[in-house]
Amino acid sequence: MALLGRLVVAAMPLAPKFIVRMVASRYVAGSNLEDAVSTMNNLSSEGACFTVDVLGEEIRSLEEAEFFLNEYSMLIDSISKNNIDAHISIKPTAFGLLIDPETAFQNILNITRKASENDIFVRLDMEDSRVTDSTIELMLKIRSEGIDNIGVVLQGRLLRTTSDILEICGILGPKADFRICKGIYLEPGEIAHTGYKEIVEATNQAIESMMASGAYTAIASHDYPVINHSLSLLEKYDLFPDSENISFPGKGPGYEFQFLLGVRGDLRRKLAKEGHLTRIYVPYGSQWYEYGIRRLNENPEVATHVLKAILLPWTNRR
């Protein structure tokens, strides 16, 4: 399956765009806000909640950031108007982080304030290692403004992640709020684990560090070894689906499980049936093609999920 996945990666840029769209439609809600709202309304009957991402990153000029400011503003309005249980997820480089960090801060601060007024949580996606420090610093700077509805993503594969957890928790205490994932960006061995087993073990260690520190822990993984380990940690740290929720409105009792749209839907539904809060990551936008090709190139492992969905659809319901 892994070899076939690599062949998918090699062939996808050569395929007609309509074929790529057909594949991407499982993992991307659509090209506009209305598509995202429709997708969430259809899936809300399953008891899931959502985090929404407007596709696009690493803009070339600050003028391009205006699009994301306007789009996320409309997204917040739409979530509130339609009474959807959803948060938003943003990539700092889409707001100018690599061009002008201060402008990016003001842009994201404005969006976070508006989201706070609507009881919507904001997650700062973690991009490649060029912006790890600046993304964490941006989150902490917004928190220092007295705004608590923001958290950051950390990647299990990076060697620095455990120390980042301890440092952030040392500053924010129980108000620290993380999404932890293995990480899609392939980084060199000098700064990251590169083998699957090492990455899984490091991700599990990061999850335990978060729970042990009392931080909110959003577990974003489709890997059974990560999910099973997380379930055992819930018992160890007395975190239960029906325990008192002391976190942000619309969030779980100290933890939640997150899944990409279109991946391991059956597992997500099983966890939800057991009472765990599950959240679906819903990307949308006109850059769906660039998003799909870039993600496949950055991490060919994603192609395995794509291939499984095509060849064995009954094992991987959306």
Tell me the residue ranges of DSSP E strands in 132-176.
150-155
Annotated active-site residue 35? The verdict is: no
Residue 284: its H or E element: strand 278-284
283 neighbors 75 (Cβ within 8 angstroms): no
Other Cβ atoms closer than 10 A to 223: 16
- SS3 (DSSP) at 16: coil
Which is it for strands 150-155 and 177-181: parallel, antiparallel or unpaired? Answer: parallel
Q: Which tokens is 215 given?
A: 């931080």
Catalytic residue among 123, 179, 264, 268: 179
Catalytic residue among 53, 123, 125, 268: 125
Annotated active-site residue 179? The verdict is: yes
268 neighbors 278 (Cβ within 8 angstroms): yes
Residue 44 CB contacts under 8 Å (≥ 6 apart), including other chains: 84, 85
Phi/psi for 50 (5° steps) reads: -140, 160
Round to whole Å and give the CA distance between 176 and 172. 5
Whose CA is closest to 120, among 147, 154, 153? Answer: 147
Phi/psi for 260 (5° steps) reads: -70, 145
229 neighbors 207 (Cβ within 8 angstroms): yes
Q: Which residues are catalytic?
A: 125, 179
